[in-house]
Chains A and B, each alone.
Chain A
Amino acid sequence: MKTIFSILKSSSNSFDGQEEDENVILLLRRHPFVIIIKLLAFGIFAILPIVLAVVLSSFLNTQELFGIFVFASSIYYLILWSLLFYSLTMYTLDVWMVTNKRVIDSTQHGFFNRNISELHLFRIQDITVKIHGVIETILKFGDLHIQTAGTEERFRFLQIPKPVVVKDEIIRQVSNNHGHHNSEL
């Protein structure tokens, strides 16, 4: 029983296709602000039956429909709960990882639509940080674009917290990786 619950407390951040001597340096998700906005929307929907119950209480009581209303509300909350966690699942499964060997972009677009791409550190040419607007500036989150060869598509980390710090860490890993490659040669 103790081992079952240990997965909730600690993790080695292992992932599919991880190499033996590969360590996860950074595990990034979108900034919490992105999901908090959605949670607020769900919160508004959650208080809707309570507001309705207050407004329609006299009507529901006189018509003896209060029991039906409570049952309908329970079904509503059941659906809302599932939709809330569907959103949380999509948020949680959009991850970007920086390891000591490569950068991995894993994005989830619905249950059965998943994109995973990777980029070896030695192929990184330049990194761009983009912070748009007031909210991103205040809360310190934004996009990070990694450029490889000229015509190839950029690698994008979207709405990640502290993109400048992440950029510095990737550059540090790239230089470490170059040093390692040179010593091997």
Chain B
Amino acid sequence: MDYLTYKVIATAVIAVTIFVYWLFNFTVIYHLARFGVGTQPKKIAFIFFLGSIGLFFASVFLFARTDFNIVKEKLVQIGSNSFNLSGLNQNR
């Protein structure tokens, strides 16, 4: 089980999430383009496509910039504060 590190699991989860996200987006665009009558659905599909790409790459950029070690440290800190009973024992 050594190969199944947290990094591999996190990567798999992110990959599946991205796949589901783009599958959903594809379905929206497909429905608008295939079943939409008139120009309005095509315009909506076009705006949606551009916005999705923009927001997706913004998220990727922010993901790359974010230091997740801070979150890890904070969680460890919160965990140790919550379960630190030494102070209580001293008061008694």
**Which residues of A come within 8 Å of B, CB atoms?**
7-11, 13-16, 24, 27, 29, 63-65, 67-68, 70-71, 74-75, 77-78, 81-82, 85-86, 88-89, 92-93, 95, 97, 106, 108, 111, 114
**Interfacial chain A residues near B43, Cβ < 8 Å:** 8
Instruction: Please give me the residue from chain A that is nearest to B41 by CB atom.
Output: A92
Report yes or no: A93 in contact with B41, Cβ–Cβ below 8 A. Answer: yes
Beyond known contacts A8-B46, A77-B55, A97-B37: 8 more, CB 8 A cutoff: A7-B39, A71-B59, A71-B66, A78-B21, A86-B24, A89-B31, A93-B32, A93-B36
CB distance from A7 to the nearest CB of B (A): 5
The complex places the Cα of A78 from the Cα of B65 at a distance, in Å, of 17
CB distance from A28 to the nearest CB of B (A): 10
Q: Which of B6-31 contact A (CB under 8 A)?
A: 21, 24-25, 27-28, 31
**Interfacial chain A residues near B58, Cβ < 8 Å:** 74
Report yes or no: B31 in contact with A111, Cβ–Cβ below 8 A. Answer: yes
Contact residue among A11, A68, A114 (Cβ-Cβ distance under 8 Å from B39): A11
Contact residue among A8, A10, A11, A67 (Cβ-Cβ distance under 8 Å from B67): A67
Contact residue among B25, B38, B71 (Cβ-Cβ distance under 8 Å from A82): B25
Report yes or no: A78 in contact with B27, Cβ–Cβ below 8 A. Answer: no
The complex places the Cα of A88 from the Cα of B68 at a distance, in Å, of 35
Report yes or no: A92 in contact with B39, Cβ–Cβ below 8 A. Answer: no
Number of chain B residues close to chain A: CB under 8 A: 34
**Interfacial chain A residues near B21, Cβ < 8 Å:** 78, 82
- Majority DSSP secondary structure for residues of A touching B: mixed
**Interfacial chain B residues near A16, Cβ < 8 Å:** 35
CB distance from B55 to the nearest CB of A (A): 5
Contact residue among B27, B35, B39, B66 (Cβ-Cβ distance under 8 Å from A9): B39
**Interfacial chain B residues near A93, Cβ < 8 Å:** 31-32, 35-36, 41
Instruction: Please give me the residue from chain B that is nearest to A7 by CB atom.
Output: B42
Contact residue among B28, B40, B59, B74 (Cβ-Cβ distance under 8 Å from A78): B59
With A10-B39, A13-B37, A15-B37 given, is the CB distance from A68 to B66 under 8 Å?
yes
Is B44 located at the chain interface by the 8 A CB criterion?
Answer: yes
CB distance from B58 to the nearest CB of A (A): 6
Is B63 located at the chain interface by the 8 A CB criterion?
Answer: yes
Closest 9 pairs between A and B when the two form their complex, measured CB to CB: A74-B59, A71-B62, A85-B48, A71-B66, A11-B39, A92-B41, A78-B55, A67-B66, A11-B38
**Interfacial chain A residues near B52, Cβ < 8 Å:** 78, 81-82
The complex places the Cα of A11 from the Cα of B33 at a distance, in Å, of 12
